[in-house]
Amino acid sequence: MPSTRAIRGRIRSVKNIAQITKALQMVASSKMRRAQERVEQSRPYAEQLRELVSRLARVTGEDVGNLALLKQRPVRNIGYVLITPDRGMSGALSSNINRKAATSALDQQKTFAEQGTRPGVEYVAVGRKGRDFVMRNSFHLTAEFTNYGDRPSLIDASAIAQVATEAFLNESVDVVYMVYPKFINTVTQQPTVAQLLPVQPPGDDSNAGHETIEYIYEPDAASIFEALLPRYIDVQVYQALLETLASFYSAQMVAMKNASDNAKDLIQDLTLTYNKARQAAITTQILEVVSGANA
Partner 1 sequence: MATHTTMHVEVVTAERELYNGEADELIAPGTEGMLGILPRHAALLTTLKPGTLRIKLNGAEEPLFVSGGFLEVSNNQATVLADTAEHAEEIDQARAEEARRRAQERLAQTTSNTERAELQAALQRAIERLRVSDIVRRRRGPRIEMPQQEQ
Smallest CA-to-CA distance from 124 within 56, 173, 53 is with: 173
Which strands sit side by side in the sheet containing 77-83, from one edge to the other? 140-145, 120-126, 77-83, 175-185, 188-197
When asked if residue 46 is in the footprint of partner 1 (CB under 8 A), the reply is yes
Residue (of 41, 32, 25, 24) closest to 247 by Cα position: 32
Check: CB of residue 88 under 8 Å from CB of residue 94: yes
Q: Is the Cβ–Cβ distance between 142 and 121 less than 8 Å?
A: no
Residue 290 as a binder of partner 1 (CB under 8 A): the answer is no
Among 52, 159, 194, 222, binds partner 1 (CB under 8 A): 52
DSSP letter string over 63-124? GGGGSGGG-----SEEEEEEE--SS--STTHHHHHHHHHHHHHHHHHHHHHHTT---EEEEE
- Beta-strand relationship, 120-126 and 140-145: parallel
Taking the complex as a whole, the smallest distance from the CB of residue 215 to partner 1 amounts, in Å, to 5
Binding test (CB under 8 A) with partner 1, winner from 195, 223, 284, 285: 223
Determine, following the binding rule CB under 8 A, whether residue 187 of this chain makes contact with partner 1.
no
Decide: is 222 part of the binding site for partner 1 (CB under 8 A): no
Three-class SS state of 142: strand
Reduced to 3 states (helix: H, G, I; strand: E, B; else coil), residue 60 is helix
Which is nearer to partner 1, 48 or 137 (by Cβ)? 48
Q: Considering the complex, state which of residue 70 and residue 235 has its C-beta at the smaller distance from partner 1.
A: 235
Residue 243 interacting with partner 1 (CB under 8 A): no
- If binding is defined by CB under 8 A, does position 224 make contact with partner 1? yes
Question: In the complex with partner 1, which residue's Cβ is closer, 108 or 236?
Answer: 236
d(CA 77, CA 245): 29
**Which part of the chain contacts partner 1 (CB under 8 A), choosing from 43-51, 88-96, 190-198, 286-294?**
43-51
Residue 141: phi, psi to the nearest 5? Answer: -105, 120
Interaction of residue 218 with partner 1, rule CB under 8 A: yes
Stretch that binds partner 1, among 10-18, 137-145, 212-220, 247-255 (CB under 8 A): 212-220
Contact flag: residue 231 with partner 1 (CB under 8 A): yes
The verdict on 213 binding partner 1 (CB under 8 A) reads yes
Phi, psi of 206 (to 5 degrees): -80, 170
Q: By CB under 8 A, is residue 45 in contact with partner 1?
A: yes
Structural contact between residues 277 and 7, judged by C-beta atoms closer than 8 angstroms: yes
Q: Report d(CA 208, CA 154) in Å as an integer.
A: 31
* Residue 104: CB minimum distance to partner 1, A: 27
17 near partner 1 (CB under 8 A): no
Per rule CB under 8 A, count of chain residues that contact partner 1: 29
Q: Provide, rounded to whole angstroms, the least separation between the CB of residue 157 and partner 1.
A: 8
Among 49, 75, 89, 143, binds partner 1 (CB under 8 A): 49
Label residue 131 exposed, middle or buried (CB < 10 Å: 0-12, 13-18, 19+).
buried
Q: x-or-dash pattern for partner 1, window 136-165, by CB under 8 A? A: -----------------xx-----------
Residues in contact with partner 1 by CB under 8 A are 38, 41-42, 44-46, 48-49, 52, 56, 153-154, 210, 213-219, 221, 223-224, 227-228, 231, 234-235, 238
